[in-house]
Amino acid sequence: MFISPARSQDDAIYRKIAWRIVPFLFVCYVVNFIDRVNIGFAKLQFLHDLHLNDAVFGVAAGMFFIGYVLFELPSNLLLARIGVRKTLLRIMVSWGVITVLLMFVKNAPMLYVLRFLLGAAEAGFFPGIILYLTYWFPDNRRGRITSLFIVAVPLAGVIGGPVSGAIMGHLHDALGLRGWQWLFIAEGVPAIVLGLLAMFLLTDRPHDAKWLDGAETARVLAALEADARRRSEQGAVPAKLIDVLRNPRIYLLSLIYVAIFMGLNAVGFWIPTILRQVGVQQVGNIGWLSGAISIFTAIGMVLIGRSSDRRMERRWHVAGCGLATAASFLLLPLAAHSVALTTVLLVVASACIYSVLSIFWTIPTAYLEGGAAAGGIATITAIGALGGAVSPALVGTLKAHTGSVYPGLAVVAALLAAAMAALLCFVPAPRRSAAAQVGQAV
């Protein structure tokens, strides 16, 4: 297959950029996701210690997203003004400190308040990184790069599952602290360290990058400007926040993202509980099985992301993966007496829902230009995060009443399937740019 010299040169430039910024962002997101969902492991001990139930846990998990929703938009708008380095310093140090403070929880109100503050502290991290990637990578390369970044989520499971299980198992009652208290200490400190390092290891924009020469910077900026012209020609949302807030497509994408977020949290918070419900009792074994699920999830995400970029097709990849996740949730009760079958279904659900997350973000960014990107991405994530608040509370409340996680997962599956149908019916596929078509041809 012939590769043009220009394409080869661009590949080298974007490979250089990716190696410079993506590994650090990747590590930050690993720590971010571990700190967000480690309450799912901690609950295996603290519910008993604090005399709480699954309904309280569900509300606490959801409180995170209330704070997240309220502070998401201002956080992302601030990033567009002050840059990613200062933003990550602010966000990661504050969420690391609050994660450590969770060790002092004594009752449900304290748990609710700290989870709310954790969400407020973290608000802007994920949409901020999505926005940051648009500063460096053109549309036809962003699906793969976004997938590589979001692969941090299943890797967080690979690391976080076994490590969380080991911490809670081996440090339980050490120095008078329970295992779940050690968990919050050990997994909160790395966020503080990474937030401080962001100031030294990241570059805000291509024109600030001393590690790119003049010609490399010019090629990157030219590709980004070509994308901006194409979006303008195709009726992209103008570069004003008020226009973003008036655009009905933003709200449709937001509602779709609500259902996606519900699916993400169903996987993120309830895998340990599902595994225990089907007969895996030891916390350490639950951790290792969660890690194995995450390994297969990472592999699936990379393969699906590459498929989407290679074909420059987004909607059917998102919808197909979303429907596969919904089907897996609905089939879980049939595998309730088999650890192996349950694990397979959780692998499918996890790999597909995280692929939905990574590929979905290539859709709104293809419609947004200039200043609208910060506001549009933040608006979609803020509204979508309502699904994060509803999902754990819904599943937790139904589990408290029925004794099973399956009814709540069935509701999530139905909403996710409806969202995928709405995506296919009402969100048009963006036209390919000439550059993207040439890039695919070679």
Is residue 177 scored above 90 in pLDDT?
no
Q: Tell me the pLDDT tens digit for each residue of 359-410.
A: 887 787 666 655 566 677 777 877 887 787 788 778 888 888 888 889 999 9
Domain count, the chain: 1
Q: Tell me the pLDDT tens digit for each residue of 223-263.
A: 888 877 776 665 555 556 566 677 788 888 889 999 998 99
Read off the pLDDT of each residue in 75-92 and give the average, rounded to a whole number: 84
Is residue 16 scored above 60 in pLDDT?
yes
Q: Helices 125-134 and 5-37: crossing angle, nearest 10°?
A: 180
* pLDDT band per the 50, 70, 90 thresholds, residue 114: very high
CA 68 to chain centre: 13
Task: Write out the residue range of the structural domain in which residue 326 sits.
Answer: 14-433
Residue 404 within a domain: yes
C-beta neighbour count of 365 within 10 angstroms: 24
Residue 2 within a domain: no
C-alpha to C-alpha distances, 170 to 189, 263, 321, nearest whole angstrom:
19, 32, 38
Is residue 418 scored above 90 in pLDDT?
yes
Residue 158 within a domain: yes
Residue 206 within a domain: yes
Q: The tokens of 21 are what?
A: 């910024």
Whose tokens are 């973000």? That residue is 361
- CA-nearest of 362, 323, 317 to 150 is 362
Predicted local confidence at residue 165, as pLDDT: 80
Is residue 56 scored above 80 in pLDDT?
yes
Residue 440 within a domain: no
CATH of residue 419's domain is 1.20.1250.20
Predicted local confidence at residue 368, as pLDDT: 63
Do residues 32 and 261 lie in contact, with contact meaning Cβ atoms separated by under 8 Å?
no
Residue 74 within a domain: yes
Is residue 2 scored above 60 in pLDDT?
no
State if pTM tops 0.85: no
% of the chain exceeding 70 in pLDDT: 89
Higher-scoring residue by pLDDT: 332, 46: 332
* pLDDT band per the 50, 70, 90 thresholds, residue 24: very high
Residue 7 within a domain: no
* pLDDT band per the 50, 70, 90 thresholds, residue 322: very high
% of the chain exceeding 90 in pLDDT: 25
Read off the pLDDT of each residue in 203-229 and give the average, rounded to a whole number: 86
Average pLDDT over the chain reads 82
